[in-house]
């Protein structure tokens, strides 16, 4: 039995790495850039740092910034129209998951006009054509959208987050410039960092994990535990650079083996209450890991993680103590970076749990969870996360 692993073609890392953008665009023969970002990054002057690289090289571009934090079908369809009007031959996405996911959606629809409804892209996609080329420059250390085959778009009418999985959307080039991440406010740095940790932890315990994905996820977990507090609280440049690398490494893993029910549940909070994705993951992660740890194989995976992040004594703990220790360490890390809220603080209501559980049962991330889960389990988990 073979194992398939998909990675992007080329990546650059380090402070100032965005300077490589112009040369790559010219060497690849692209003539017109459609720059996808969001208004907050425009107002903060972050996207301008990339625009200056293009201007200096005499590369023509147009900016599209009509993107919500949880990007919608309309954000994609409006972007498709704008990209076509611009007659661009390459998309440059500058931002977090919202901007890069929107860029991926635009890319796919332009190359596959039969999927213009966007809704049909939900789940494992069967698009025929590789998307319009995308170059991604992340400004957050969390989603790893620059290296994954996934993108998430909100269907506001049905109040669901569509998880689109398509190798045809993977960016041809990723530029992970930590200088673009240094302007993140503390709350965003914390949320995206916990998002990266959730990717790494869920990827490490998912049913499809393998030797190669284990390598990526374990190293990402080590880097995040060692660097997230300093990156968030001290704005330490080296810690921020390490977080940019950690989230990218986690992306290489989970993009190929999937995630689990932390994401199944978080997607519904984002779709229904517009909860920021990283915050939703952070609030749910300890509760769900306590549930998943009841699987003996998963408890053993937790033991392996604990040994790597400074708890060598975990080798001699019983499974329940391993679970308790791991969940405590996850909670403490979240507290260190200022995430102390519960889902109730973001509008979750007891009377919505049945509806949220129904949606979570249909989420594409659910099958990868190491422990089987029922609708009642989801209801109980949402209640525990209150």
Q: Specify the fold of 186-384.
A: Dehydroquinate synthase-like, alpha domain (1.20.1090)
Q: Specify the fold of 10-180.
A: Rossmann fold (3.40.50)
CA neighbours closer than 13 Å in the CB half-sphere of residue 311? 18
pLDDT, tens only, 154-173: 999 998 889 999 999 999 99
- CA-nearest of 173, 191, 83, 175 to 138 is 175
Distance between CA atoms of residues 109 and 120, nearest Å: 11
pLDDT at 3 over 90: no
**Predicted pLDDT of residue 366:** 97
70 — pLDDT class (breaks 50, 70, 90): confident
- Residue pair 72/102 in contact (Cβ under 8 Å)? The answer is no
Question: Can you give the residue ranges of every domain in the chain?
Answer: 10-180, 186-384
pLDDT, tens only, 318-330: 999 999 999 999 9
pLDDT, tens only, 115-125: 999 999 998 88
Contacts of 18 (CB under 8 A, 6+ apart): 49, 50, 53, 137, 175, 177, 179, 180
pLDDT at 8 over 90: no
């Amino acid at each position: 039995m073979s194992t398939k692993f998909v990675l992007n073609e080329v990546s650059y890392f380090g402070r100032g790495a965005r300077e490589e953008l112009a040369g790559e665009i010219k060497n690849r023969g692209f003539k017109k850039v459609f720059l996808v970002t969001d208004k907050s990054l425009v107002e903060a002057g972050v996207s301008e740092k990339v625009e200056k690289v293009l201007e200096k090289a005499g590369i023509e571009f147009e900016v599209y910034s009509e993107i919500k934090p949880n990007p919608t079908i309309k954000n994609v369809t409006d972007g498709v129209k704008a990209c076509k009007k611009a007659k661009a031959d390459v998309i440059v996405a500058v931002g977090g998951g919202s901007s890069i996911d929107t860029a991926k959606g635009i890319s796919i629809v332009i190359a596959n006009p039969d999927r213009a409804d966007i809704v049909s892209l939900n789940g494992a996609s069967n698009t025929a054509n590789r998307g319009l080329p995308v170059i991604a420059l992340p400004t957050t250390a969390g989603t790893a959208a620059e290296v994954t085959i996934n993108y998430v778009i909100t269907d506001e009418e049905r109040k669901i987050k569509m998880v689109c999985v398509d190798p045809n959307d993977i960016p041809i080039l990723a530029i992970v410039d930590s200088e673009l991440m240094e302007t993140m406010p503390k709350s965003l740095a914390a949320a995206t960092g916990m998002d990266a940790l959730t990717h790494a932890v869920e990827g490490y315990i998912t049913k499809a994990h393998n030797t190669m994905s284990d390598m990526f996820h374990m190293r990402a977990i080590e880097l995040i535990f060692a660097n997230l507090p300093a990156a968030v609280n001290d704005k330490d440049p080296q810690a921020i650079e390490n977080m940019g690398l950690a989230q990218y490494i986690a992306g290489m893993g989970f993009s190929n083996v999937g995630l689990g029910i932390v994401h199944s549940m978080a997607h519904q909070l984002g779709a229904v209450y517009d909860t920021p994705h990283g915050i939703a993951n952070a609030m749910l992660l300890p509760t769900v890991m306590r549930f998943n740890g009841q699987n003996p194989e998963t408890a053993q995976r937790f033991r392996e993680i604990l040994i790597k992040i400074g708890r060598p004594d975990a080798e001699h703990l019983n499974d329940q103590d391993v679970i308790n220790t791991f969940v405590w360490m996850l909670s403490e890390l979240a507290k260190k970076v200022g995430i102390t809220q519960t889902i109730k603080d973001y509008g979750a209501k007891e009377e919505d749990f049945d509806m949220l559980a129904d949606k979570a049962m249909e989420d594409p991330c659910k099958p990868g969870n190491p422990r089987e889960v029922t609708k009642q389990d989801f209801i109980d988990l949402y209640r525990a996360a209150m």
